[in-house]
Chain A
Amino acid sequence: MDALVARSLSKMYRGRHRTVPALDNVDMTIAKGRLFAFLGRNGAGKTTFIKISSALLMPTAGSVQLFGVDVVDHAREVREQIAIVPQEGKPFYHLTPREHVEEYLRVRGASAETARTRADEILEGMGMLPYEEIPAMVLSGGLQQRTLVAMVLATEAPFLFLDEPTLGMDPFARRQVWEVIRRAARKGSTVLLTTHYLDEAEQLSEELAVIEGGHVLYQGEAEALKSKVRREVRLQFGYGFTAQELASYGEVYAERNGLTLLTTRNHVEELTRRALERKIAVHIGPVTLEEAFLTLVGRAIEDEDPGALA
Chain B
Amino acid sequence: MTWKSQANAIFRICYFNGFLALRRSPILLVAIVLTPLSFLFFLYVIAPRSVLPFGIVGGVMFTALFTGNGMMNDCAYFRLERQLQQVFVSSPLRPLSWILGMALSELAWTLPALVLFIIVLGLVVPVGALTLLALVGVILLTWLLSASLGFLISTFFRQLREIWPVGTVVFTSLSVLPPIFYPLAAIPAGFRWAAFVSPSTYASQLADHAVGLPVPTISVVPLLSSIPVEATGMVLLTLLFTLVAMRLARWREP
Contact = CB atoms under 8 A, between A and B. Distances in A.
Partners in one complex: yes
Interface of A: 51, 54-58, 75-76, 79-80, 82-95, 99, 103-104, 106-109, 135, 148, 151-152, 155, 157, 161
Interface residues on B, range: 20 to 34
B90 A83 contact: yes
A108 B82 contact: no
A87 B82 CA distance: 10
Contact of A152 (B21, B81, B87): B87
Contacts of B101: 107
Interface string B16-49: 1100110011000000000000000000000000
Contact of B253 (A56, A92, A94, A99): A56
Given A92-B17, A94-B21, A107-B91, A58 B253 contact: yes
A99 B20 contact: yes
Interface stretch (B5-13, B168-176, B184-192, B194-202): B5-13
Contacts of B81: 90
B222 interface: no
27 contacts: A55-B90, A56-B90, A56-B252, A79-B89, A79-B91, A83-B87, A83-B90, A86-B83, A86-B86, A89-B82, A89-B86, A89-B87, A90-B83, A90-B84, A92-B17, A93-B21, A99-B20, A104-B87, A107-B12, A107-B93, A107-B101, A108-B1, A108-B9, A108-B92, A135-B24, A151-B87, A161-B90
Given A94-B25, A95-B20, 18 more contacts: A55-B252, A58-B252, A79-B89, A82-B91, A83-B91, A84-B86, A86-B86, A88-B83, A91-B84, A92-B16, A92-B84, A107-B88, A108-B93, A109-B5, A148-B87, A152-B87, A155-B91, A161-B90
A89 B92 contact: no
B89 A107 contact: no
A275 B148 CA distance: 75
Interface string B83-118: 110111111111000000100000000000000000
A88 B93 CA distance: 22
A57 B250 CA distance: 9
A109 B82 contact: no
